[in-house]
Amino acid sequence: MTRSPNGFVAELKDAVSLRAALLVIGVLALQVAFVVSYIGAFHHPKPQEIPLAVAAPDQRSADGAVRRLAALPGDPVDPRAVRSEAAAREGIEQRDVDGALLVAGPGGTDTLLVASAAGAALSDALTEVIVAAERSEGRRVEVVDVVPDAPGDARGLSSFYLVIGWCVGGYLCAAILAISAGARPANTHRAFIRLGVLLLYSIAAGLLGTVVAGPVLDALPGSVPALWGLGTLLVFTVGAITLALQGLAGVIGIGLAIALVVVLGNPSAGGAYPYPLLPPFWRAIGPALPPGAGTFAARSIAYFKGNATGGPLLVLAAWAVGGAAVTVGCAVMRRSARGGVREEAPAGDGGG
């Protein structure tokens, strides 16, 4: 065994550069953030202000039920009176509320309408809260699932997993494009080419994901063209974010994209636990991040006739446009900086 004449410290510096050491520390920080974010979001799901419609034979009964439910400890539901059962069902279908309590007359059995397709964990939590509240008042309640999930969609999670797959494809494709020829875009042409390739990849990924989740595995119902369009937009959005952050911060930007989409976006997406079951921080950021917007839109397309998808699609479009603009902007600024250096060089030589 030969020993280096420069010693162990010199060998260590040669084997692990300062840049590599800093990147390893960054990976460690990302790993810790991953653990904190996922466990923080999921370790203690608690219903908080679940939107609930309340319908009764008369306005007095409806107002009384609303006051009684609004006074529950911890505010597990956010009740609001509606004029009829039809209005309550419409509220669920439009995704304005997550359930509805139909109050019967004296001696009758109340009915709780839930939509497990919006998340089985949410419908289970709402059922538990309302059954306990009704029992404490000496009332009986029957639970009816008005928007059930598909037989192949266990607990309504297929849309969430589909979105996660699309997000993974988006940032991996962008990462490969970003490091294929240098750490940063060399010019505007390369930036536009990468965005173009990303778009083509997004179209293919959106279609393949939709076909696998729908016709092949029969896990998600709903419009194939609509899910395809959503998948295309989502993959491109995540890819554009990754290219933008890589353009701003080099290889570190890829880690930042993972932090944004995976560490923060996935646990706050409302997949395993919909928004009313998440802690305040994750509930607040979820709808504004691509995984959350994508999951809500996918469920709406699959089970709610595309209702309430406008907001999530605007969120994705804003991220996509912003990511593409920053990607091109970084390339333009770098080109301008390099051009300025070339223009100043002759003057410097002449002065020397």
Are residues 255 and 108 part of one domain? no
Q: Is residue 106 part of a domain?
A: yes
Instruction: Report yes or no on 24 lying in a domain.
Output: no
Domain count, the chain: 2
Domain contains 351: no
Pick the last residue of a domain from 110, 145, 180. Answer: 145
Task: Look up the CATH number of the domain holding residue 121.
Answer: 3.40.1710.10
121 plus 215 within the same structural domain: no
C-alpha span between 254 and 175 (Å, rounded): 6
User: Cα angle vertex 177, ends 176, 183, to 5°?
Assistant: 90
Tokens of 41: 């979001």
For residue 97, the enclosing domain spans 50-145
The chain-wide mean pLDDT, for the chain, equals 90
| Same domain for 181 and 122 | no
Residues 141 and 159 in one domain: no
Tell me: do 171 and 309 sit in the same domain.
yes
Q: Tokens 């969120």 — which residue?
A: 315
The answer to the question of residue 7 being in a domain is no
Joined together, the tokens standing for residue 27 give 């990976």
Q: Are residues 61 and 105 in the same domain?
A: yes
Domain endpoint, select from 94, 124, 145? 145
pLDDT digits (tens, 9 = 90+) for 65-103: 999 999 999 999 999 999 999 999 999 999 999 999 999
- With bands split at pLDDT 50, 70 and 90, how would you rate the model's confidence at 20? confident
State the pLDDT confidence band at 10, using cuts at 50, 70 and 90: low
The CA-based dihedral angle spanning residues 83, 87, 92, 93, taken in that order and rounded to the nearest 10 degrees: -170
Whether pLDDT at 349 is above 50: no
Residues 211 and 259 reside in one and the same domain: yes
CA angle 87, 89, 90 (to 5 degrees): 60
Same domain, 126 and 187: no
* 190-216 tens-digit pLDDT: 899 999 999 999 999 999 999 999 999
Which of residues 119, 145, 171 is at a domain's end? 145
**What is the Cα gyration radius of the chain?**
26
Query: Based on the domain organization, do 198 and 101 belong to the same domain?
Result: no
With H, G, I as helix, E, B as strand and everything else as coil, classify residue 90. Answer: helix
Looking at the structure, tell me whether residues 89 and 201 fall in a common domain.
no
Q: Note the pTM of the prediction, 2 decimals.
A: 0.89
Q: Does some domain include residue 304?
A: yes
| Residue 351 predicted with pLDDT over 50 | no
d(CA 142, CA 46): 23
Residues 6+ apart with CB under 8 A from 302: 117, 150, 153, 159, 220, 221, 222, 227
pLDDT mean over 19-28 = 83
Does one domain contain both 124 and 204? Answer: no
- Residue 265 located in a structural domain: yes
Average pLDDT (132-159) is 94
Tell me phi and psi for residue 114, to 5 degrees.
-125, 170
Query: Does residue 111 share a domain with residue 179?
Result: no
